[in-house]
Structure 1
């Protein structure tokens, strides 16, 4: 059955929604699923923008065939060669053997790695600023390397001012009927998943995203069509501001994230005490996470939101508790910067986790590690109240 959606008089969404998937990229939980977006533009020539995941190739072909309604497909624009967007390329070629593939030279080389067909026979390579006329519509190609693969480009349609943005401006979550962001309560229902998507998928490449935003600022954009999630036609400045903040590693809020690793509850108790005292001082929207209960992708996303980070870990095998170590590795791998960081350790006989946690952050830029830290021997004692208050005061002052 045709499940395409009309976006403008000439542009159609021809993708699919995956609500069965448990882990995106076999790493990130997606309880609300994910969409694989592909777009078809009709003019004197027709152009398909990217394909979708192999599991939904049949749906893509049915959607494309229905929208074309007997017409041929002239161009396949490949903005990104990740398999959730390129897996159906060979199937499109089999169905439409006269199609030309428009992509970067690096994408063409990757295509040869994924597929057995004669890539050079089909590919029209493009570089920065090249254009392609479809008739009324003209496509301009903008290079976006490392957002988040090296072959990536985005495509700008100059007549209707549409940006086909590859993996930029997407989100986790399947599309539930309402395909435009302005048809949803985006800030409450979608923003946390959009932030989690950005931070985990693209977050490491802030400078490259900044370079793309600079190029985008020179374009008049009326619609953004990402490869995942909702299409944007309103409030584009709000979306661009979020990406500018995330990609420059500037926190969204002056608040605190507290992540703790606790086995028998004593370190958790100390983390709760810190959270309570910060709340008494008026700090809003504090986030507290058990690193053994919550997937690191959620905690990393809140670390991008918050200006101060507190990590509380037991000593385990003479180091950091394993799940805390995983989280800290993910934070370092995603290049987080410009935060205030505080540490708390617990150890019944040889607490050393603060040293190891501090070492993890040594390579990150502009991370202010507070001199105040707190060491617990098995459990937090009343006599340590002054030390706890000193740590809380230092965290609170960093929010000013």
Structure 2
């Protein structure tokens, strides 16, 4: 049974959901699954945009057969070679031996690396601004290197004013029948997962994403068809504004995110105390996470969201508590920047986490570290009330 839907008169969604996959890229948990999107343009020439993951191949082929209804595929447009989108290239070449692959120079190199067939005579190489005419539809190609692989490109259909955006504008989460953004409450159902997807998958390449947004700004885009998540056909400015913020590392929310690495609970008790005092000072948005309990991908997403961060951390083996060290490593790898940060350190005999966290943050770009710091020896004492008050005052002052 097919699971397809019309997008426009002759553009079809033929993607599939995977609700069984536990971890995206074997790293990021998927409580709500993921969609792999693919599209068929049924014109004088038939074009398929990307394939999907190997785990859902059977449904994918059934969807293709239903829409084709006996026709052949003339072109397979390869926007992105990552295996969740490129796994079925060889399978389709076997089914449609006259099909032409369309990609750039870097695409061809990756096809050669992933597969054992010679694609020299079956690939059409395109570059920035090249077009492919299908009849009434013309696709124009724009290179988007490092969003988030070097071979990535997008294409724009002049007839329907559709941008096929590769991994850009994607989100975690399966599609529950509704393939369009306005068929669900996006902010409630998908926004957090879109932020988590962007922050962890694309987030390192903010400058490259911003460059793609500049190219998109010059096009009359009425619809965005990503490789994951819902198709955008309404209120595009809402999601474009989110991407503009994320790509420039600009916080969405003026608020405080407290990230706590605690061994026996004493550091967490201090973090709880600081959260209470921040609320007393009138800070509306205060969120506290135990870094040992929350997967790092969710913490990264929250860091993309909030303007101010507090790291409350125990010293462990003369270093940073391991889960906190992992988070800082990911922040640095993803080029996170432009945040105001406070530090709370704990240690029983040789406190070191504060100094080491400061060094990590100073190696990142545009991180403003609040001068005041809370220093705990084993457990926060009543005599340190004024020290905590001074820290909270300095931190709230930085929010004005």
TM-score by length of 1: 0.99
CA distance in 2, matches of 1:145, 1:236: 23
Q: Which residue of 1 aligns with 2:398?
A: 398
Distance in 2, matches of 1:394 and 1:243, equals 31
The 1-side partners of 2:279 and 2:176 are apart by 36
Q: What is the Cα deviation at residue 339 of structure 1?
A: 0.5
Question: Secondary structure of 2:371's partner?
Answer: coil
Residue pairs, 1:88-99, within 5 angstroms: 88-99=88-99
Distance 2:102 2:356 in 1: 49
Q: Deviations over 1:198-220 (max 9, x none)?
A: 00000000000000000000000
For 1:285 and 1:80, the matched residues in 2 are separated by 38
> Which moves more between the two structures, 2-11 or 228-237?
2-11
Segment drifting more, 276-285 vs 187-196 = 276-285
Q: Which residue of 2 aligns with 1:208?
A: 208
Report if the CA contact (8 A) 1:346-1:378 is conserved. Answer: yes
Instruction: State the 1:350 CA deviation.
Output: 0.8
Alpha-carbon distance in structure 2 between the residues aligned to 1:162 and 1:368: 41
Say how many residue pairs are matched.
400
User: Secondary structure of the equivalent of 1:84?
Assistant: helix
* Aligned twin of 2:322: 322
Matched, 1:344 2:344: yes
Equivalent in the alignment of 2:267:
267
Alpha-carbon shift at residue 98 of structure 1 (Å): 0.8
Check the 8 A contact 2:103/2:124 in 1, yes or no.
yes
Query: 1:218 & 1:41 partners in 2: Cα distance?
Result: 23
User: Post-superposition shift, 1:282?
Assistant: 2.1
Indicate whether 1:386 and 2:386 are aligned.
yes
In the alignment, which residue of structure 1 is the partner of 2:26? 26
1:361 and 2:371 matched? no
> Cα deviations across residues 181-234 of structure 1 (Å, max 9, x unaligned)?
111111122111000000000000000000000000000001100000100000
Deviation at 1:279, TM superposition (A): 1.5
What does residue 194 of structure 1 align with? 194
- 1:138-184 per-position Cα deviation (integer Å, ceiling 9, x unaligned): 00000000000000000100110000000000000000111111111
Shift of 1:62: 1.0
Offset, 1:362: 2.1
Q: Distance in 1 between matches of 2:213 and 2:84?
A: 24
2:254–2:285 contact (8 Å) kept in structure 1: no
SS state at 1:251 partner: coil
Q: Map 1:5-16 to 2 at 5 A.
A: 5-16=5-16
The equivalent residue for 2:51 is: 51
- Is 1:142 the equivalent of 2:142? yes
Matches within 5 A, 1:1-400: 1-400=1-400
| Cα separation, 1, equivalents of 2:398 and 2:45 | 57
Q: For 2:354 and 2:192, locate their aligned partners in 1 and report how far apart those are by CA, in whole Å.
A: 30
Cα offset, 1:276, TM superposition: 1.2
What SS does structure 2 have at the residue aligned with 1:62?
helix
Q: What stretches of structure 1 of length at least 5 have no aligned partner?
A: none
How far apart, in 2, do the equivalents of 1:4 and 1:185 lie? 22
Instruction: For residue 359 of structure 1, report the CA deviation from its aligned partner.
Output: 1.1
User: Shift in Å at residue 285 of structure 1?
Assistant: 2.7
Stretch deviating more after TM superposition (292-301 or 355-364) = 355-364
What secondary structure, in the 3-state scheme, does the structure 1 residue paired with 2:255 have? strand
1:363 positional shift: 2.0
Contact 2:258 2:312 in 1 (8 A): yes
Contact 1:287 1:302 (C-alpha < 8 Å) held by counterparts: no
For 1:30 and 1:287, the matched residues in 2 are separated by 22
